[in-house]
Amino acid sequence: MPELSRILRVLRRMAGHLLHLRFRALHREMSRAVSVLLAPLSAGRKRRALRAALAGRTSGKRVILFPPTLDYHLPLYQRPQQLARAYSRRPDTLVLYLTANTRFDHVSVMEALSPSLLLVNASLACELPALLQDARQTVLSLSWTANKRYLPLLRPDRVVYEYIDELSIFDGYDETMERDHAALLKRADLTVCTARALYEKARALSPRVLLSPNAGDYPFFSATASAPDAPEAAAASARYRFTLGYYGALASWFDYPLLSAAARARPDWLFLLVGMDYDGTLKKSGLLKSPNVLWIPPQPYSRLPSYLKLFDLALIPFVLNDVTRSTSPVKLFEYMAAQKPILTSDMDECRQYRSVARYHGLSDFLAKAEELLHRRRDPVLLESLHSEAQANTWDERAAQILSALDALPSWSDNTDSGRAVFARSFSA
């Protein structure tokens, strides 16, 4: 037994410490011995707790599983959290969002975020197949190739592979990731692409591809005007004629030189940036030396409307490269829902929306910003933002993906052995 071997090793070390009168080290080994002895009991308690928590929740339902990627409580909700929430609002659907408790989650067994959205400790994933046998269907939604290992572990009925970004931006990008990506494209039941550029690449390998861009939480962001004040930003905003804002990651794809030049050219405008200095490029850029640039560190998702309400003009000033050409910005649809005029660089995924203005270079940025600032209360522009926001919600995306999944031919063998063979094919 592995546990017995570990206990014996600890006891031998304890005897050595006692023999040589190393009492501090002996105390550490005694604590370790207690942990080793209690570990099986703790694991057993967790398994029983998960079984009790899922009892009566899964029968006859479609269960959608998200393997661990982003902690659910990460301050800025991204596509996995938003889709999990949207799926959980569908009839007869239960969503299990697995977390590795990396930083923002602290889940021992399970946290019920709603009756149909459960946050589950990923260390208990091996227990799930037995607990989900009465589900109508199990669906695994993958967006990171490293989570391919959950396929043989969870043995889902369906696999949805979400191709959400150029692979090169992921941590650990290498040849193995490329190889696993190709295997997932070929064998997933459905490949979902968030940008046209990704869709065109996927079509070469995947037999079933769906273009499904990012979206916005319309009910949440449409109430931006009534959000509580953010005093630290509101005080600064009040000193300037207009506030031009951005929230999200501040990284190498952010056009620091353009914004620095714009801040110098328009000293009566405040440039409000809310978000994480993702790769250290913000502080290195020199942008914060401009007196009319205010940076607010990353804020919880619940507080974003408090900053967004201050924006007279909402910005997405990204440089144009292979990464941003394949980017569908979530914030685009959140800005729409708040009915804020939007100015972006000429990204491919922003061209299709009539409510969004795009710029080419500094002079065009300044000219279009001036125009939009003067049109910020224009009923025609506001109606355009409103209608496009309502057409691009997470509930719409969830319905689209599940409809595509339901249109697929039935899997021929839904037995446990059939699922296992199917899952192992991804490792071939």
pLDDT(16) > 70: no
What whole-number distance in Å separates Cα of residue 46 and Cα of residue 125?
A: 12
Question: What was the pLDDT predicted at 43?
Answer: 74
Helices in 137-174 by DSSP H: which ranges? 150-154
Q: Which of 255, 163, 190 is nearest to 400 (CA)?
A: 190
End-to-end CA distance of the chain: 32
Cβ pair 215, 397 in contact under 8 A = yes
What whole-number distance in Å separates Cα of residue 279 and Cα of residue 258?
A: 19
pLDDT(417) > 80: no
What whole-number distance in Å separates Cα of residue 372 and Cα of residue 327?
A: 24
pLDDT in tens, 37-96: 444 546 778 889 999 999 999 999 999 999 999 999 988 789 999 999 999 999 999 999
pLDDT in tens, 229-267: 999 999 999 999 999 999 999 999 999 999 999 999 999
Question: What was the pLDDT predicted at 428?
Answer: 46
Domains of the chain: 57-215+400-427 (3.40.50.2000), 219-390 (3.40.50.2000)
Cβ pair 167, 178 in contact under 8 A = yes
Predicted TM-score (pTM) of the model is 0.86
Place of tokens 């005080």: 235
Q: pLDDT higher for 7 or 330?
A: 330
pLDDT in tens, 182-213: 999 999 999 999 999 999 999 999 999 999 99
pLDDT(5) > 90: no
**Token pair in block for residue 50:** 């998960």
* Mean pLDDT score across all residues of the chain: 90
pLDDT in tens, 112-151: 999 999 999 999 999 999 999 999 999 999 999 999 999 9
Question: What was the pLDDT predicted at 27?
Answer: 64
